[in-house]
Amino acid sequence: KKVADRYLKREILGEGTYGVVYKAIDTTTGQTVAIKKIRLGKQKEGVNFTALREIKLLKEVKDPNIIELIDAFPHKGNLHLVFEFMETDLEAVIRDPNIFLSPGDIKSYFQMTLKGLAVCHKKWVLHRDMKPNNLLIGSNGQLKLADFGLARIFGSPGRKFTHQVFARWYRAPELLFGAKQYGAGVDVWAAGCIFAELLNRRPFLQVLSICGKSLMTSGRVEDLLLVDLRDFVGRKEFQGDSDIDQLGKIFQKLGTPTLSQWPDLEWLPDFVEYSSQTAQPWRKLCPTASDDALDLLSKMFTYDPKSRISVQQALEHRYFTSVPLPTDPAKLPRPA
């Protein structure tokens, strides 16, 4: 069945935050594409036009590390966004036990992540939903940012509870403290979480909570618990005070921020005092990382967003020019 006289619909690829994504063939070019169907049903008509105007902006961004928006059109009350088809994503790479990531591989994947983010920030667009499954990987090994700007256009994702939980691990402390004004630093923090996740092969600031009770476990127990957690997703009690749990998890690893480190902290809407905890040594938090990697990581995890390193500065960090150099993307390991 053809959509908009141009796309031949194939199988469903998955269900995302905003709606169903399916595979299709663009009959004008023969190219395989992914079409994201966004329900506009509940929104007022005006939003429709705003969304379309914003999407025109996204269509103009062309960069090797940002997913290309090929087309956008309304069809049967849904907005259809047509993207280039991507083979896999960084989450699948990180979770694949058969994949070994060398320090050069990690550097390459992370450099492409930052390059894509730098383009967003240069255009004054925040991504706001940086996480490994939004970093798509093409057949040539190129990593591309997906879903950028969508949070601003369609409201922050996470009405579906599962999404919200997982995105919380990547949320900057200023957001968890309820900041209404925030900037590019939120993406830098999330990118730091992704960097640590590449290094450790597990989510860095993962909080597990069952029935509102947080379980800050470490080691292999987490993996076992994750399976059982699926039974709890969707249950109301599951929600808990998770922003608080998330801050607790951050402070447990990075130490409680002091006012001298972060002077604006006490003015944030949800500021409450936390019992002071001292930061754990970076070496212990990421045992396999090089000194350069740890130096960059600590600069991305600076509490005060005003002092946090920018994406551009991160790209200029010596980590990227020291050996081992980033692996050629075409030679990066990908799931079989």
**Interface with ligand ADP by CB under 6 A: which residues?**
13-14, 16-18, 21, 34, 36, 67, 83, 85-86, 89, 133-134, 136, 146-147, 163
Give the tokens for residue 297: 């990581």
Q: Residue 41, annotated ligand binder?
A: no
Compute the least distance from the CB of residue 136 to ligand ADP, in Å.
Answer: 6
* 315/311 Cα distance (integer angstroms): 6
Nearer to ligand ADP, 84 or 243 (CB): 84
* 61/63 Cα distance (integer angstroms): 6
Compute the least distance from the CB of residue 272 to ligand ADP, in Å.
Answer: 31
Compute the least distance from the CB of residue 154 to ligand ADP, in Å.
Answer: 10
What values do phi and psi take at 75, rounded to 5?
A: -155, 120
Compute the least distance from the CB of residue 225 to ligand ADP, in Å.
Answer: 22
Compute the least distance from the CB of residue 157 to ligand ADP, in Å.
Answer: 6
* 132/93 Cα distance (integer angstroms): 9
Nearer to ligand ADP, 86 or 332 (CB): 86
Q: How far is CA 229 from the centre of its chain?
A: 21
Q: Residue 15, annotated ligand binder?
A: yes
Q: Residue 13, annotated ligand binder?
A: yes
DSSP strands (E only) in the chain: 2-3, 7-15, 20-26, 32-39, 69-75, 78-84, 88-89, 135-137, 143-145, 208-210, 213-215
Nearer to ligand ADP, 26 or 309 (CB): 26
Nearer to ligand ADP, 157 or 305 (CB): 157
**Bridge partner list, 3:** 7
Q: Which of 26, 71, 89, 129 is catalytic?
A: 129
Nearer to ligand ADP, 33 or 294 (CB): 33
In sequence order, the 6+-apart residues with CB closer than 8 A to the CB of 136 are 67, 86, 88, 89, 90, 143, 144, 145, 146
Instruction: Decide if 63 is catalytic.
Output: no
Cβ atoms 201, 313 nearer than 8 A:
no
* Closest residue to bound ligand ADP by CB: 16
Catalytic residues, by residue number, are 129
- Binding region for ATP: 13-21, 36-37
- Binding region: 13-21, 36-37
